[in-house]
Structure formats: C-alpha cells, structure tokens
Structure 1
C-alpha cells in the first residue's frame, strides 16, 4: 500500500491533434460504410487555414468533393470560424493513395496488419474501471464542451486542455491534488472572469469533497489564450496516444489508433486487451490488471499473452493467460468478429478517450462491456 500523487491530462475535441484524429476516424467510418473489409491508414495534418490528408486505402474510394465536404463539416461542428482557421475558407489537400499490394496479399483476411505490442488495463479506481486521473480529466473537458456548445458558446473557444493530479492513500484515490485547465476564450474576457466561469464546471465534474485547494487550481496559468487551435499549433493524427488510453497509468505499445481499420492490431488488439483486463477486474479476480498481446504481420495468432495483476490477483497469472488463450480467438479476425469492429463506430472514439466509455446501441465501445463476470469460473479453469 502506497501514498502518492499521480497526474494525467486530456485534451478537447478542438485541440489540433484531436481534430486530426477526428478527421482520420471520420474518413475511416465513411470507408467502412462502403466496405466493412476496407483497409486504411489515414493521417491528417492541420495548420493555418490548411488541412492535409495522407495515407493509404484498399477496398473503397471516396471522391475529393465528398472528402472536402466531410472535413469542412467536422471543423464547422467543432466550432472553428477563426480568421486563420475557418471551415469555409481553409484549403484541403488530399494525398490518399492505394495501399501496397504486397501488404494486402501478405496479410489476407486473417493475418495481423502489422507487428507490434498492445496493452490493456483496468483498475478499481472508478466505476468505469479507469484510472482516476485520466477519467476526471476527460470528465472536466466533456462538461466544458457541453457548456461551450450551449450557454458559453460565445465565450469559450474549441481548443482546451486539462490536467488532473490525484492524491492516493493506501493505493486508493481520495481527492484531487491539483487541476490545470487551459481554454481558448473570447478576447473581451479577463483571466479572472474565465476562472469564475470554469471553476463550477470543474467542481461539478468531481465527486463530493474531491475539489483541490484554491491555490492548486490553475486556470489559464499562462494568461490570455485567445489565439488557439491550428492557427497557433499544428496538429497531427496519433500524437495523443496516452490521452487516448490510460493517461500514463499503464504501458502503451506505441501504436496510435485513429485512422486505422481494425485489421491493424494496434487498434483491435488494444481494444480486446482492454476488454479482457476490464472483465478480469470486474469479476473480482484482481483489483488491477495489465494485459499485453504481441503480433507479427501476416500471422494469425498472437505471439504472446502476458498478464500482470500487480500483486492483487486471486489466481496465478500464467493460469489465467492459458485459460484466456483456450477460450478466446485472439486472431485479428476473431477479435473483429467478437467486438463487431468492422462497423463505422470510430469517430466517437477519437476524443475523450477510447476506454471508460458506455457501450452504445450502434455497437460502439463494445469492448467496454462487462459481460464475463458470470463466467469468471470459466476463466479460472
């Protein structure tokens, strides 16, 4: 049992990097609507009044005009009508090309789309089995977005970041230690006014009694934040992978998610690893679980499965790993079928985390289901 402080950050959907993730995943969803077996790897760059789209596809096409319309509508919905980044006037350059035929032949329909290592993680910090720092950083920014889209529409801009440090006592989260929120705002508002606007949103995003001391609440600590978004900072797909996952509380294999179809195990295997880790903790087999999978391009089954329950497990890790491999098809194809990943469900994952979300009726976030608890005895065979 330890006492410590741990911090994680999140970013809003208007952050330049997240804007790129959203565009890449929206294009992926459009391609999947045309062909559920499409292969894509889409990278987006945003900068002053320019959007660049790179990458490759195989199995579906999208006209330049439809791509243009899709990108502009995304940027419009997020709220960018700035002088130097405006959905109406920005330039969109499309450099998508066909995927290498060698790769298409090499992986077929069942092989892994690339080599790599993927991690899943779950803990008992929160009801969603997510680490408390990243969970509440997401919550603050989601609530900020809600207010920005309604009563604060003319005050706050789309670009925002949040960092939450949580104090742990005996390995349990008990209170926020410090909170940092930086948000783009209208030039007529002072930092003091912005602070008074943001403070109650933060307060309402935390459990009772979890608000940090006033001296440790930092809102726009660098001062005025009027010029933001791609006008101030170039964005790139896949540059916020720790925001996407566990806020640094667990390892990350290094691969980004957005823009990649589910044949890419960077994405699909990370989702499956989270599903298994979450159900292990939810079933009471451990209070904390890290699960790693590794794959080789073109091969069907994982090369390895590793489980670490951090000294909290009620079963030997090696026995549990063996049981999982016996009862689950961890091939890329098996994962895609089990989690229904060949559907257009990815745009909603691109901001505020891929994990700790509620499964929806359309099949999104299916990896967040907690449905193995009745079969916990099966996992212990």
Structure 2
C-alpha cells in the first residue's frame, strides 16, 4: 500500500459564507429572545460592489411578538466581523455604501400545518442529511487535545482562527476579514499520521501593501508568504508535523 493524502478546509469569519451564517444566526438569536418558540428560516446573501455593498435577507419567520429590526441586526453582525470600510469590500454600518434588502414573511401555511401540533406531538418543518464522527487524531498534539477531530480539519480551523487573531490584535495589520485555509495530511500505509504535506492559505489584504515595496507585486507576495509562515502557520501547526519539505501556498493566484 502507498501513503494516502487527506485534505480539509476552513474559512475565516469574514469569508462570505461565514458572514452570511453570522447574520442568519444573529436573526435567529433576536427572534428567540422575543419568542422562545419562534421558528426561523432565513437565508442571507452578501455581495461587495464597486458602488455599493449588498446584503439580502430572505425567508420565513413565525413568532409571537413584534419582529426585530432585521436590517439593524444584519448591519451590526457585519460590522462585528470587521466589515466597516467600503475599501475592504463592505461597510455594513453605512446605508450610503451598503444596501440591505429584507424579504422575510411569515411561515408558509402549508408548512406550518405540519409543524403546529398539540402538546408533545411536534412536527418537523424541514429535513436534512448530516454526517460526522469523532476520532483521536488530535490527542497526541499540544493545543489540539480534546478536539477529537480529524487532524486536517482541526488544523485548518486553527489556521483560520489564527488569521482572525493576527488581524484583530494588529500583528498583521494589513490583513482583511476574508480568508481561507486548506491542510493536507499525509498518512502512512498503516493508517498512522506521517506529516503535514501541504498548507494553502488565501488571505485578503490591503492593496496599498505593495507601496512598501515600490509597487513590486513579487516582493509584496514574498513578504506576505514569509509573514503568514511565521505568524500563522508555524504558530498553529505542531512542529513535529512540519518537515522541511512541506509545501506552503499563500495567495496562489497572486
């Protein structure tokens, strides 16, 4: 048997997918604070534009009480993540450069009749397929113990959390909220972990960074890679998993 590679990815809080999740979650929290039995099915879409950013809220909500201010909730959630400047893709705080469209109605009567039941006879309003498992791959490494996650997944999440930390604490002030990581772990033929084979990082950054290098994109990218290696990768992945030959790709398209 030959060695096997397994990859997992993670995204930062400012990635569009996570931003949408955060806004929808904030709406759920607000509705439950009004009515503990509220039912919320709200989808969020975000798009940064040259003229204006856009947040679209669509779905169905049923609750006893006045509906919360959906627009305000969306703007606060976006700002909390770091989207407070049109220059970085969106200023969720400003109605001048960011529109919020709300298309939320009450729950469909056809769905509600299957959910509204008496006593303990509660119906379901949706269905889905889920899978997952716990394993002990993280339990041999400091900083990962107690996760019981597949190693590649745990490491990729640790990287994106670190990307957010170095942005918020000023270690890497030129980074921006949107980012992504992927970790590939190599397994020996007997199934044991060999090493981290490849790390891929994509990180949004200030366009003006290259001004520090006389406009040289090549020098800028070399600097970004060095900083990400030092302050993110080597800070997040146990040294025993990083051989000298591991591959690091940072902003692979430049």
1:113 paired to 2:125: yes
TM-score, normalised by the number of residues in structure 2: 0.80
Correspondence 1:45-84 to 2 at 5 A: 45-47=45-47, 48=49, 49-60=53-64, 61-63=66-68, 66-80=69-83, 81-83=85-87
Cα deviation code 1:264-294 (max 9, x no counterpart): xxxxxxxxxxxxxxxxxxxxxxxxxxxxxxx
Q: Distance in 2 between matches of 1:138 and 1:167?
A: 18
Distance apart, 1:209 and its partner CA? 1.5
Aligned residues: 221
- Counterpart contact for 2:7–2:183, Cα < 8 Å: yes
Cα pair distance change 1:145/1:124, threshold 3 Å: same
Q: Distance in 2 between matches of 1:212 and 1:72?
A: 44
Distance apart, 1:102 and its partner CA? 2.4
The structure, 1 or 2, with the larger RCO (C-alpha pairs under 8 Å, 6+ apart) is 1
1:7 paired to 2:19: no
Cα deviation code 1:71-92 (max 9, x no counterpart): 2222222222133521223010
Match of 2:194 among 151, 161, 174: 174
Q: Distance in 2 between matches of 1:39 and 1:153?
A: 41
Q: Runs in 1 of length 4+ with deviation above 6 angstroms? A: none
Cα pair distance change 1:153/1:213, threshold 3 Å: closer
1:218 paired to 2:249: yes
Partner residue, 1:158? 177
Cα pair distance change 1:2/1:154, threshold 3 Å: same
Partner residue, 1:257? none
Q: Distance in 1 between matches of 2:192 and 2:125?
A: 39
Distance apart, 1:172 and its partner CA? 2.6
Q: Distance in 1 between matches of 2:243 and 2:78?
A: 34
Q: Distance in 1 between matches of 2:184 and 2:195?
A: 9
Q: Distance in 1 between matches of 2:100 and 2:76?
A: 12
Q: Distance in 2 between matches of 1:53 and 1:91?
A: 11
- Counterpart contact for 1:178–1:213, Cα < 8 Å: no
- Counterpart contact for 1:125–1:172, Cα < 8 Å: no
**Structure 1: gaps spanning 5 or more residues:** 224-381
RMSD over aligned Cα, in angstroms? 1.9
Distance apart, 1:212 and its partner CA? 5.0
Q: Distance in 2 between matches of 1:214 and 1:79?
A: 35
- Counterpart contact for 1:179–1:212, Cα < 8 Å: no
Distance apart, 1:101 and its partner CA? 2.0
**Structure 2: gaps spanning 5 or more residues:** 139-145, 211-219
Distance apart, 1:174 and its partner CA? 3.2
